[in-house]
Amino acid sequence: MNQRIIAASLLALSLPLAAQAAGEAKNVIFFLGDGMGPATVTAARIYKYGEAGALNMEQLARTARIKTFSNDAQTTDSAPSMSAYMTGVKMNNEVISMSSDTKAIAPTLPAGTGNCGSNNGSAVTTMLELAKARGKAVGSITTTRITHATPAATYAHVCHRDAESDIAAQAVPGGAGFNAALKDGVDVLMGGGSKFFTPTTAGGVRVDGRNLIDEMKAKGYSYASTGTELKAVDAKSVSKLFALFHKDHMDYELDRVKKNLDQPSLAEMTVKAIEVLSKNGNGYFLMVEGGRIDHALHGTNAKRVMEDTIAFDEAIKAALAKVDLGNTLVVFTADHDHTLAINGYSKRGNPILDISRNYKDGKEAKDADGNTFTTLVFGNGPNRKDTRTSIVSGNTDSSMALHDDYLQETAVRLASETHGGGDVMLGASGAGARSFKGSMDNTKVFTLLKSAFGF
């Protein structure tokens, strides 16, 4: 176990409740594994460390169980769930950091220009805005488009998550549509999605002709578009960092590594963000999203789910090695669950992505029709691609199941796998972590983050 975690855990457990004063955290790092439900965490642990092992995130001192339902749905999407963490307000599906009465109205243009209409809710203050108002540095980084629902919930306010051109404009200090609550802007902003920052004439999708990348540079931001460029950024001399590593979402971790793509890992992004933000003597708030976990789950591609979850876990490890838990709170959780399930009675040590083999005799497990099946399955989704497996049911062997592109079987056939409505995990270590315990609503997490900061 990381020695910093051990020390912080022992300290937290030894202090009386009265000593756990509000405002003990100078810095807060909030890790969000998009769609990373309990089954995903368990499968990733087995995938990387075996049944008896432990992910870095599982070694944090405090744990809690989080309810994720939204204002209008049993099963939330990322927009209201992340917004609940960042604002403490329940809102409707597809709404980002707005009041509970806001109705989701989809953008009228494919470029993501929204129109909420009149008398349709109001903006609610985010944790990032609260931190900025108190002189702290703030950052938001992700492996998805930086305008995607989760990162957008930290710095933008829109009535529909698809209004990504509007979301991008809210990040540009002083520009048309800028979110003035950000004052001089988000200090570190990294991810994918350059198409929403550039005009159609430059290969983007903006219909207003603005090049927001150039506008950000003009406001003093150092800019990086590749992993190589990010490594070259001298954090000591940079106060504002903006980076977009892909026109759309960044690549899955499996592909980034196998194809040797010039994109940074989430861990590298996290370390660079901490280095830039920590120069602020008042402290900082940083949100880190492992966003493509969710995308691989929607596609029922468990191998990419595992690789992106491990990459997310490595980012947590990198942060823990970088910060002082005596004055920094580190929290991880997920915005919602998925329908991934670990099924059958596989023997211990059987590869989690493989076909199930019985624990009694090690032989291939068979379903009621005499066919093999994989340990990981989904409650719904597109099943298997015909290009890889010519049959929807039938025998699957290890060479198929362990292939990078294998799609797990699903019970209900849908075009895309959906989110799940189950509770998710939360872990916390460091300053103010003691309050994170038990079963709680996602809006309560916001209250605890504020208390840790002393807001």
Q: Which residues are catalytic, by number?
A: 78
Q: Give the DSSP letter string of 75-117.
A: S--HHHHHHHHHHS----TT-BSB-TTPPP---SSTT------
- Pick the closest to residue 442 from 412, 421, 416 (CA basis): 421
| Beta-strand relationship, 376-381 and 410-413 | parallel
- Which residues 6+ apart lie within 8 Å of 244 measured at CB? 146, 190, 191, 192, 193, 194, 197, 213, 225
Q: Report which DSSP code applies to 417.
A: P
Residue 362 tokens, joined:
């090690």
Q: 405: burial class by Cβ within 10 Å (0-12, 13-18, 19+)? A: middle
Give kind and range of the element (H or E) at residue 138.
Answer: strand 137-145
Residue 114 to residues 1, 168, 199, 363, 374, Cα–Cα distance (Å): 47, 12, 17, 56, 43
Residue showing tokens 């990032």:
128
Tokens of 384: 């298997």
